[in-house]
Amino acid sequence: MSSFEEAETEETVTCLHMTFYHPCQDNKMMFRCLNFRKREQVRADEMAKFGRDSSICHYNLIDTRVSRIQFSLQFYRKLNSSELCFEIKNMSKKTKLIVDQTELGYLNKLDLPCKCIICFGDYQILAEIQEGESVDYFETHLHMAEVPILQDRCVPSLQPVQENGISSSFPSQDKSPIEIDENESC
């Protein structure tokens, strides 16, 4: 046998991709301590903590409105399964954490979906899990978004339109409906 055939099988590593956005990120530079575009290893027995206290958190957000520890991520394996997952826990007493549409109060936690949006204050984070096999560590890969991850859209309420094509909400028939771009703010 050749040494290639005898070599250990290489394990794939679970990677948590996180894309950050804040409307003032260019002016306030709250992400300046995050290491973007470079994968970082985190031991499986460590908690990944995000917040403003650099002595506790590995992922620092430079903003006085962020809690000392805003939230934490714990890597774990489901009971009687080989599935590896993340659990997210809100560590802020003052700010609720929203994961997709689920609101987490202080010390509330839930399993992180494979792809979700995490929000607190004006922060938006797109989290995507790339599955792997290693149980010793996982990786984080941070990115910065140039545009908001969530778009607040005002969708006008749809009024029934009569067969003649004129909405009953217009007082006179000589006015034509106004077209609204879906990206315009209300």
pLDDT in tens, 44-93: 999 999 999 999 999 999 999 999 999 999 999 989 888 899 999 999 99
Q: Domain locations in the chain? A: 11-144
* CA–CA separation, 92 and 71 (whole Å): 7
The pLDDT of residue 118 is above 60: yes
* CA–CA separation, 175 and 23 (whole Å): 38
* Beta strand 97-99 pairing with 115-120: antiparallel
Tallying the residues shown for the chain, one arrives at 186
CATH number for domain 11-144, candidates 2.20.28.160, 2.130.10.10, 2.60.200.20, 2.40.30.40? 2.60.200.20
Query: How large a percentage of the chain has pLDDT more than 90?
Result: 70
- Residue 39: partners with Cβ closer than 8 Å, 6 or more residues away: 15, 139, 140, 141
Sheet holding 47-51, edge to edge: 59-60, 47-51, 71-77, 84-90, 109-111
* CA–CA separation, 98 and 117 (whole Å): 8
The pLDDT of residue 3 is above 70: no
The pLDDT of residue 161 is above 50: no
CA 142 to chain centre: 11
Burial class (CB in 10 A: 0-12, 13-18, 19+), 113: middle
Return mean pLDDT, the chain. 84
Burial class (CB in 10 A: 0-12, 13-18, 19+), 171: exposed
- This prediction has a pTM of 0.75
